[in-house]
Amino acid sequence: MKVLQINSVCGIGSTGRIATDIHNILIEQGHESYIAYGRDLPKNCDNAIKIGTKIDNYTHVAKTRVLDKHGFGSKQATIEFIGKVKELDPDIIHLHNIHGYYMNVEILFNYLKEANKPVVWTLHDCWSFTGHCAYFDYVGCDKWKTGCDSCPEKKAYPSSLIFDNSKNNYINKKEIFTGVKNLTIVTPSQWLANLVQESFLNEYPVKVINNGIDLNTFRPNTGDFRNKFNLNGKFIILGVASVWDRRKGLKYFVELADMVSEDEVIVLVGLSEKQINQIPENIIGITRTNNVEELVDLYSSADVFVNPTLEDNFPTTNLEALACGTPVITFDTGGSPESVNIDTGYIVLTETSDDIYSHIIKIKSNTKYNYRKNCSFRAKNKYDKIQKFIKYIELYKMIG
């Protein structure tokens, strides 16, 4: 079996690592595997195919920023790529993020309809069925159900600074993305699966395959984080994000800083230098780390992991915390609460710092020790990446 995956990046970021994890399982099982990508340098894949150039990316960005036509640039780059696909002649084509300033979706889907090959499309957000945005929960918009226009998230990713083309984008995407004969949609969360079934993509079968993590890496350890920051005896409240934008809920940690007692400390990972200079003095700010061992040490040292995300699909940070034996507190937003149960943390129903803190106190009172075993057990039994990504191989065989 020859499989071609297509994603904005290869081996980096959550979606890029999912693609290379699937790639490695395919290779181990004796299949042929290739990953086509649009940006940055590839990692952990010997059979990587670059789509376009940096100039193509920048031109696509400009078309997005000015005309709000994301996904409709990169024409020549996509034509050249389709030529390579025809030469490669894969048995299965697996799409991930086809947004990201590198692909012309109309040219791609015209080929998919013409080639009539089995297609798997993993949706990592909502961009595929809206006229512009990747998420709409924050503004409570449901125009995507009937037809987008006057987008309230025009300046959110993929940001348009001038024109609003959401109405035409919606019409065009609906025509382009429907009508593929053998296409199966995969979502990492039931939440996103439910949205797909309310969208114009509801003609396709939808399968839920949760994201998984490397349990050989993410597991409880005893590092030196507490000693390094002189936090022995402190109750550590941890937050982790790759980018702390508005939807990740940074403001709630700022508010929590006024509530925590002297024996409690907030640690935030993934802040920019500017954000570190702006946060309250009783928050320990750390820039984004690509050192996995350091991240495991942080998760393991924390007493509770707080994820006040306002829009998310199925955040892997929750899974990483659980695997390291740390209970999770998260809002009832997107697919985030699906990874947490009463034995491993709490789902906060009201989006307030007061409610977050009341649940922090519950965990503090019960002590992390009473959650640790259940957290590790849940991660081991539900989110082992090998078991999760083997489901993709099974799906390939079923539809191929």
Mean pLDDT of 115-125: 97
Average pLDDT of the residues of the chain: 96
First to last CA, the chain: 9
pLDDT at 97 over 80: yes
| pLDDT of 223 | 82
Residue spans per domain, the chain = 2-212+385-399, 225-382
Buried-exposed string 163-180: b where 16+ CB fall within 10 A, e elsewhere: ebbbbebbebbbebbeeb
- List, for residues 234-263, the tens digit of each pLDDT value: 999 999 998 998 889 999 999 999 999 999
pLDDT at 15 over 80: yes
**Residue 288 binned pLDDT confidence (cut-offs 50, 70, 90):** confident
Supply the pTM of this predicted model: 0.94
DSSP single-letter state for residue 213 = B
* Poorest-pLDDT segment among 103-112, 143-152, 215-224, 284-293: 284-293
Q: Is residue 189 a contact partner of residue 334, using CB atoms and an 8 Å limit?
A: yes
The CATH code of the domain at 2-212+385-399 is 3.40.50.2000
Strand-pairing partners, residue 238, are 267, 305
* Poorest-pLDDT segment among 85-89, 219-223, 390-394: 219-223
In this structure, which CATH number among 3.40.50.2000, 3.40.50.1820, 3.40.1010.10, 1.10.1740.10 belongs to the domain 225-382?
3.40.50.2000
pLDDT at 290 over 80: no
| pLDDT of 356 | 98
| Close Cβ partners of 114 (under 8 Å, ≥ 6 residues apart) | none
**Residue 13 binned pLDDT confidence (cut-offs 50, 70, 90):** confident
